[in-house]
Structure 1
Amino acid sequence: MNRATLQPCDLAVDTPAGSGRLCFERVALVGKPNASGSAATLARVVDFLHAQGCEVTLEHDTAQHVGALGDRVADVAGIGAHCQLALVVGGDGTMLGIGRRLAPWGVPLIGINQGRLGFITDIPFDGFEAVLRPMLGGAYLEERRALLQAGVWRDGVCEFETIAMNDVVVNRGGAPSMVELRVEVDGHFVANMRADGLIIASPTGSTAYALSAGGPLLHPAIDGWVMVPIAPHTLSNRPVVLPAGSTIAIEVVAAREPSAHFDMQTFTSLLEGDRIVVRRSQHVLRLLHPLGWNYFDTLRGKLHWNEGVVA
């Protein structure tokens, strides 16, 4: 499911200038909220897309901040119904915010990095034109990444449900005490765990909070999740890699002010007895990369491996 493959262009149209073929004629543009200088940055991208013959739809919240720079303004549903591609200008947080919301429509995404790391926004803004031009013409690698579906259940009723690209985190909130969590996988009891919290991360999220908590890096092609305790009371509670087909249930046994976070962007308060159920989403994230992209090149660059070593 997560393997990167070269995709043929089946949406090709002639560009007005006759200089090439377009795989994506209707492109949505999503910017980083409240970023300094974002209007000028996005205007440059819009001008480039227009020069390629693309119709540009500005995402509604982005337009609220920078103005209507494109041909249209639309919310997420409008983008999903109309656009063939979403171009995200910002960091991984910007991609997380729009990617999980667009996933139900199957719109592919390209990330232009203006953040700090850029694990999934992998095209540098400087010189983006030379990289993006052949991608718009169909020269790209498509990677499909699995997503998490998470719900909070209280007294047998689902109170909240959402999609997560990176992770689902149950933690102690602001209280200076541990939480006690009962963990089940596919209905089988695993452990009662006392810790600051517990992370369920996708391979995409294995380079995020799960990594800082001591979890392993999962290659995006691995069909699995990683379950990582945060500062566990029992040191033998270690990260566990689980099949992506598993259903993971986390029950809050005892806690003060517990909470659940989804991609660290959506938050909900929890009560004792609440169950957080995590499973694979029916939707996937479609990421497009330039030809020649490689996951290990990304890791080496972003994590500064081999610095000072001559290859």
Structure 2
Amino acid sequence: MVSRFRHAALVGKYQAHGMGPLLEDIAHLLSRKGLDVSIEARTALATGITEYPSLTVPELGRECDLVVVVGGDGTMLGIARELAPFHVPMIGVNQGRLGFITDVPISSLHEALCAIVAGDYEEEHRAVLEGQVLRNGNVILSATAMNDVVVRCSGIGMIELSVSVDEQFVTNFRADGLILASPTGSTAYSLSAGGPIVHPGIAGLVLVPIAPHTLSNRTIVLPDSGRISIEIVAGREMSANFDMQSIANLILQDQVIVRRSPNRVRFLHPRGWSYYATLRRKLHWNEGGVQVPGGF
């Protein structure tokens, strides 16, 4: 079959053992299918692959129409944030542990890639969060997140946060911190803090207090069309982080402003992919019970 893609880029988890030979194997496969192949520049440097051209992320976004990411969800999250403005579709090959968004297993890699590059795939879009940290009205940090934005106490103690949505006051949270998660992030830190699992097709954001000091402070699902403001009312040793990457130290009266980005991430999955089957596999549902078709 003739490929519907022209130019593929490969991105790999730099530290993973055996990453170089695996990426070369994928590159050879894609080349045999008629695609031009490039290696993301940091991946090329770390693996020593010189057989294929290397591209920076902006070059990759402008020149490539497919990206194959090999690693775990952390690897995918990192490159997805950078590539979201370019709307390039991505395939995630799981070499990590959980793999909620890197879903192609190594064992069926060749079969899945051949089908996808021939146009036989499922496509889904995921929301991205964008935000700023304001101090005295000035922006001290701008960042994006696919999973979550977390405001919390970095040491021992509690903080108090005032939350508003579209300039409408919601409440003050007294807790160890606060998580604002996208549907993608609902299976990450938010889940461990007691938040709900939100299907990625739902246009919502999850606001989850971390160890709230008032039992009535509960998780709330918000529409993702709003502007969420989190202001620091009380506390010390506080920080805001975006996907645990971009971090700002906070002081009293700082504001963290978050909204949904106009950019969305495009994922390509093998035909027959199911979000519910992913949850069953990764969260070990149905273990010891009746097996559901497609489950493990």
Normalising by structure 2, we get a TM-score of 0.96
What is the RMSD of the two structures over their aligned residues, measured on CA atoms? 1.0
Report if the CA contact (8 A) 2:182-2:205 is conserved: yes
**Which of residues 142, 158, 182 is equivalent to 1:161?**
142
CA-CA distance at 1:97 after TM superposition: 0.2
Report if the CA contact (8 A) 2:99-2:282 is conserved: yes
- For 1:164 and 1:31, the matched residues in 2 are separated by 20
CA-CA distance at 1:127 after TM superposition: 2.3
Report if the CA contact (8 A) 1:164-1:263 is conserved: yes
Partner of 2:294: none
Report if the CA contact (8 A) 1:114-1:124 is conserved: yes
Partner of 1:269: 249
Report if the CA contact (8 A) 2:149-2:243 is conserved: yes
The code of the aligned residue for 1:202 comes to S
Q: Does 1:182 align with 2:184?
A: no
> Comparing 269-278 with 93-102, which one deviates more in the overlay?
269-278
Structure 2 unaligned residues grouped into runs of 5+: 292-296
Q: Does 1:239 align with 2:219?
A: yes
**Which of residues 12, 15, 19 is equivalent to 1:34?**
15
Partner of 1:83: 64
CA-CA distance at 1:223 after TM superposition: 0.6
Deviations 1:259-309 (A, max 9, x none): 111111222211211100011101001111111111101000110000112
Deviations 1:7-53 (A, max 9, x none): xxxxxxxxxxxxx2111120010001211221122122122222222
CA-CA distance at 1:145 after TM superposition: 1.3
- Match of 2:111, SS state, is helix
CA-CA distance at 1:310 after TM superposition: 2.5
Report if the CA contact (8 A) 1:46-1:70 is conserved: no
Q: How many residues align?
A: 291
CA-CA distance at 1:71 after TM superposition: 2.1
- For 2:65 and 2:123, the matched residues in 1 are separated by 14
- Percent identity over paired residues: 53
- For 2:14 and 2:238, the matched residues in 1 are separated by 28
Partner of 1:3: none
Partner of 1:135: 116
Deviations 1:98-122 (A, max 9, x none): 0011000111111000010000000
- For 1:300 and 1:171, the matched residues in 2 are separated by 31
- For 1:189 and 1:56, the matched residues in 2 are separated by 51
- For 1:310 and 1:69, the matched residues in 2 are separated by 50
Structure 1 unaligned residues grouped into runs of 5+: 1-19
Report if the CA contact (8 A) 1:170-1:198 is conserved: yes
Partner of 2:129: 148
**Which of residues 187, 191, 195 is equivalent to 1:211?**
191
Report if the CA contact (8 A) 2:14-2:47 is conserved: no
> Comparing 161-170 with 45-54, which one deviates more in the overlay?
45-54
Q: Does 1:104 align with 2:82?
A: no
- For 2:48 and 2:35, the matched residues in 1 are separated by 19
Deviations 1:184-216 (A, max 9, x none): 111111111111110000001000000000000
- For 2:107 and 2:50, the matched residues in 1 are separated by 20
- For 2:54 and 2:28, the matched residues in 1 are separated by 16
- Match of 1:190, SS state, is strand
Partner of 1:61: 42
CA-CA distance at 1:70 after TM superposition: 4.7
Report if the CA contact (8 A) 1:170-1:260 is conserved: yes
Report if the CA contact (8 A) 1:55-1:71 is conserved: no
CA-CA distance at 1:165 after TM superposition: 0.6
The code of the aligned residue for 1:233 comes to H
- For 2:175 and 2:37, the matched residues in 1 are separated by 48
Distance 1:219 1:128, change over 3 A: same
Report if the CA contact (8 A) 2:76-2:92 is conserved: yes
Report if the CA contact (8 A) 1:43-1:69 is conserved: no
- Match of 1:22, SS state, is coil
- For 2:162 and 2:74, the matched residues in 1 are separated by 30
